Chains A and B, each alone.
Chain A
Amino acid sequence: MHISEGVLSGTVLGAGAAVAIGCTALGLKKLDDQKMVHTAILASAFFVASLIHVNIGPVSVHLILNGVVGLLLGLAAFPAILTALALQSVFFQYGGLTALGVNTLIMAVPAVAVHYLCRPLLGRSSQLNFVAGFLAGTLSIMGACLLLGAALWFTDEQFMATSVAIITGHVPVMIIEGLITGFCVSFLMRVYPEILPKKVMLT
């Protein structure tokens, strides 16, 4: 999910870029050598996972999985998502240079938020793992839609109808992402719980 070039006003783009730079710097500060390699290779895994298409009736949507990114990487989700989006724009021209900051925030802020909201629920029981995963998936897409709508609305209030249409149009995606993130998280908790960062780092 991203906003194309040329839509947003200069103010929104500038503010988005400034906040994204700050958040990325914060995320980078937390990364030591070992985590850097880990973050980079997981970022490639997310890039590949986002090429998976699942069917909803006659149409198919691609996975976003920013909920899983948030759960697995915490604050490092900012630089990881920035990197993935930059590579996407180089290879596929999904979004370009000026909207990169705003697009990073749209995807990464909900991802980091669900890390702090849902990570504490994990590891207690298998049902709770699924619920936490479902919440992480749904909320991260919902948050991304809301931020996208807000960015459009701050550009021009006439975009209100478009924003509402985008948010309602994404309700099926929220449910699918919720289910897939739920299954994915319970799978990870069963086979390889060490992949999650040890504790929630609230600093």
Chain B
Amino acid sequence: MIDRSLEQGDSFIHRIDPRIRIVTALCLSMTAAQCTHPAVAAGFLSISVVLALIAKLKAGQVLIRLKPLLWFLLMMWLFLPLTFTEDIVYRYGWLTVSRAGVQLCTMISLKSIGILIIFTSLLATMPVATLGAGLHRLRVPDKLVFLLLMTYRYIAVIRQEYNRLIRAARFRGFRPGTNLHSYRTYAYLAGMLFVRASHRADRVFQAMRCRGFTGRFRSLDVYTADGIHIGFLVICGAAGISLLIAERLWLN
């Protein structure tokens, strides 16, 4: 269910301190989200492609991850250029395509693909445990990091529970369809999942308390950020901010 192939790569980005990667990703995505001009959005997209190349990601891996976004963008291209009313460039009967609409679509497409590739190459390339440790070192509250790691830890377990339930339902001849019976079956299945999750939570909590759990999150990982890593952060941050400043100065 969960594709973890990206985590296992070996590249400069994979070796960077997780804290630096989180801050760089934040910095670049936040500046990219602010841009409003297609040319600047294209600039952010090229930064993201460079990052993906440094992380040695394969084009196929990235495309699979972009699939939900590409569907969304396709929908948008069908919709948005037609709903603008001014500056019409093409008319066919009642169908009108506006320049502003096409421009907005181009900008959104470039920007969103850029932000997602930045995310994929910097953050999806680390295991969730490392992400949690990095967030913890960046002083994200203990409880939130704990929630993130604990939720991740139990997804696979609960998923098995779900597979067991659905297998049992199929053995009894359950065939999903568009009817109340199917909806009720799925509802009971989801309900049973919550009941089992809740019981499991009680047992897990007792086991953790026996081992001295006090609600504190502790991480044994040690990361050191050396000069090259900080340089990477500074270069990426500066690239993002200067693109944004350039847009504000010359393109508006």
Contact = CB atoms under 8 A, between A and B. Distances in A.
Interface of A: 4-8, 10, 13, 24-25, 28, 31-34, 36-45, 47-49, 51-52, 54-57, 63, 65, 68, 72, 79-80, 82-84, 86-87, 89-94, 96-98, 156, 158, 161-162, 165, 176, 179-185, 187-188, 191-192, 195
Interface of B: 1-3, 25-26, 29-30, 32-34, 41, 65-66, 68-69, 72-73, 76, 79-80, 83-84, 100-101, 104, 108-116, 118-120, 123-124, 128, 131, 141, 143-144, 146-148, 150-155, 157-159, 161-162, 176-178, 180, 182-184, 186-198, 200-202, 204-205, 208-209, 213-215
A165 to B, nearest CB: 7
Nearest to B83: A161
Contacts of A40: 146-147, 150-151, 154, 201
Contacts of B108: 6-7
Contact of A6 (B111, B182, B195, B214): B111
Query: What secondary structure prevails in chain B residues at the interface with A?
Result: helix
Majority SS at the chain A contact face: helix
A10 B69 contact: no
B144 A28 contact: yes
The 4 closest A-B pairs by CB, nearest first: A6-B112, A183-B187, A40-B150, A6-B111
Contacts of B151: 40-41, 43-44, 47, 80, 83-84, 87
A36 B191 contact: no
19 contacts: A4-B73, A6-B111, A7-B112, A38-B205, A43-B151, A44-B153, A45-B197, A47-B158, A49-B194, A79-B143, A79-B144, A90-B128, A97-B30, A97-B119, A179-B180, A180-B187, A182-B187, A183-B184, A188-B191
Contacts of B189: 52
Contacts of B192: 187
Contact of B116 (A42, A84, A93, A181): A93
Contact of A42 (B25, B100, B198): B198
B198 A34 contact: no
A55 B123 contact: no
A42 B115 CA distance: 30
A93 B48 CA distance: 15
B1 A93 contact: no
A183 B115 contact: no
A5 B116 contact: yes
A176 B183 contact: yes
Contact of B79 (A63, A165, A182): A165
A176 B192 CA distance: 19
B98 to A, nearest CB: 9
